[in-house]
Amino acid sequence: MTTMAERMAHMTVDEFEKFAAVESETVRLEFIAGRIGAKKVTDGDHGAITMWLLRHCMQMRPDLDLNPTQGLKVETYRNGRARPDGTLAPVAHFAGQPDWADPEGVLMTVEITSYDSDTDHRDRVEKPPAYAAAGIPVYLLIDRDSCEVTVFSQPDRESGKYVDAHKVAFGSMITLPDPVGIELDTEILKNFVR
pLDDT, tens digit, 9 for 90 and up, residues 110-128: 999 987 767 767 778 888 9
The CATH number given to whatever domain includes residue 118 is 3.90.1570.10
The answer as to whether 14 is a domain residue is no
| HSE-CB of 22 using CA atoms within 13 angstroms | 3
Instruction: Return the pLDDT at 3.
Output: 40
Instruction: Return the pLDDT at 122.
Output: 76
User: What's the N-to-C CA distance of the chain in angstroms?
Assistant: 43
54: helix, coil or strand?
helix
The answer as to whether 22 is a domain residue is no
Q: How far apart are CA 1 and CA 32, in angstroms?
A: 25
Q: How confident is the prediction for the chain on average, in pLDDT?
A: 84
The answer as to whether 161 is a domain residue is yes
Residue 68, domain extent: 42-192
Q: How far apart are CA 169 and CA 126, in angstroms?
A: 22
Instruction: Return the pLDDT at 38.
Output: 58
| HSE-CB of 151 using CA atoms within 13 angstroms | 24
Instruction: Return the pLDDT at 172.
Output: 98
| HSE-CB of 76 using CA atoms within 13 angstroms | 8
Query: Contact, 137 vs 153, CB < 8 A?
Result: yes
The answer as to whether 12 is a domain residue is no
Beta strands at 173-176 and 182-185: parallel, antiparallel or unpaired: antiparallel
Q: How far apart are CA 125 and CA 184, in angstroms?
A: 24
What digits encode the pLDDT tens for the residues 123-181?
788 889 999 999 999 999 999 999 999 999 999 999 999 999 999 999 999 999 999 99
Instruction: Return the pLDDT at 123.
Output: 78
The answer as to whether 31 is a domain residue is no
Percent of the chain with pLDDT over 90: 61
82: helix, coil or strand?
strand
Provide the number of structural domains found in the chain.
1
**Looking at residues 12-16, what average pLDDT do you find?**
63
Alpha helix segments (H runs only) across the chain: 4-9, 13-20, 44-60, 119, 127-133
CB crowding 116-135: b at 16 or more within 10 Å, else e? eeebeebbbebbbbbbbbbe
Inform me whether the pLDDT recorded for 44 exceeds 60.
yes
The answer as to whether 73 is a domain residue is yes
**Looking at residues 25-34, what average pLDDT do you find?**
58
If pLDDT is split at 50, 70 and 90, which confidence band does 20 have? low
Inform me whether the pLDDT recorded for 56 exceeds 50.
yes
The answer as to whether 35 is a domain residue is no
Instruction: Return the pLDDT at 91.
Output: 97
The answer as to whether 136 is a domain residue is yes
